[in-house]
Homo-oligomer: A and B are copies of this chain.
Amino acid sequence: MKVSIAHLGPTGTNSETAAIAYANWLGRHRQQEAVLFPCPSIAITLDSVAQQKVDLAVVPVENSIEGSVTTTLDRLWQLEQLKIIQALILPISHALLSCNASLKEIQTVYSHPQALAQCQNWLAKFLPSAKLVAINSTTSALPYLKDDLAAAAISSPRAAQLYQIPILCHDIGDYSDNCTRFWIVSSTQNNNGSHLSLAFSLPKNVPGALVKPLQIFARRGINMSKIESRPTKRLLGEYIFFIDLEGNLQHSSVTAALTELSQYTETLKIFGNYDFCQLTNN
């Protein structure tokens, strides 16, 4: 039976590229065939797994330029049963797509807010008076570009091919080494891997309240690769902390750390133990 994989659509998004890369990985390493399910938002992509409409979801979690994809973190915290089973890193390339051959005539640029943010210096320099319109994905505007010669979209070179829209400018991102980390999410727990992601809220805001949980890991030599705070949405100044660790749930030092951690937290959610898939170029 084919594995069904939800991702942010429509076709041509970076999330779809990540889902295809993961489907190829499944074919090579697990001899599994996959079928993709594009979704209209990241929240609905994750909901599809929680509601068992699909087996897996591939969702962006962090970009090297713009930081955390907060919708992913917030939804993962809200949904009870989702687990991260793998991760992958995808290089990102931004191009300006338009049916107009002259940059001077572009009045509006459409893209996902993260893509607009990652090209803001280029846009300020080369299209200072263009209207920037943030939309649901990097490809949502592409079907309309043929009818609007004053419009352009920031999208991937792959989307340019798929939608048959010419690339007006290549590599318009403000920083090199642009890449996005994706999580592969399932409703089945995975207890083996080199990376561990979790989140917790703290009972109250006292001096050192956050230091104690962090010390638990530092004392055992467990490396914390990321910490991110998100609002609880109840009160300004109350946070949920999202933490990525290097550790395996099969090791007693890790399980001991998590047991100790639960004494200091109000709510603690372990999102899963996972490895990064190594992607090849084909």
Chain B residues whose CB sits within 8 angstroms of the CB of A64 once the complex forms: 231, 233-236
Q: Which residue of B lies closest to A222 (CB)?
A: B207
Apart from A63-B236, A226-B239, A227-B227, list 17 A-B contacts with CB within 8 A. Answer: A43-B120, A64-B234, A65-B231, A66-B70, A67-B229, A67-B230, A67-B231, A132-B136, A134-B135, A175-B233, A177-B235, A177-B236, A208-B217, A210-B224, A211-B214, A228-B229, A229-B229
Whether A218 lies near B223 (C-beta < 8 A) is no
Please give, as numbers and ranges, the residues of chain B lying within 8 Å of A235 by CB-CB distance: 64, 177
Q: How far is the CB of A129 from chain B (nearest CB, A)?
A: 10
This chain: copies in complex:
2
Contact of A164 with B by CB under 8 A = no
CA distance A221 to B211 in the complex (A): 11
A-B contact pairs, 8 of them (CB 8 A): A63-B236, A65-B233, A66-B231, A133-B135, A207-B221, A208-B217, A211-B215, A228-B228
A235 CA / B132 CA spacing, docked (Å):
27
A133 touches which of B65, B133, B239 (Cβ 8 Å): B133
CB neighbors of B among A202-256 (8 A): 205-208, 210-211, 214-215, 217-218, 221-231, 233-237, 239
Question: Which residue of B is nearest A116, CB measured?
Answer: B134
**Looking at chain A's contact residues, is the secondary structure mostly helix, strand, loop, or mixed?**
mixed
Residue numbers of A with Cβ under 8 A of B are 43, 62-67, 70-71, 89, 113, 117, 120, 132-136, 175, 177, 179, 181, 205-208, 210-211, 214-215, 217-218, 221-231, 233-237, 239
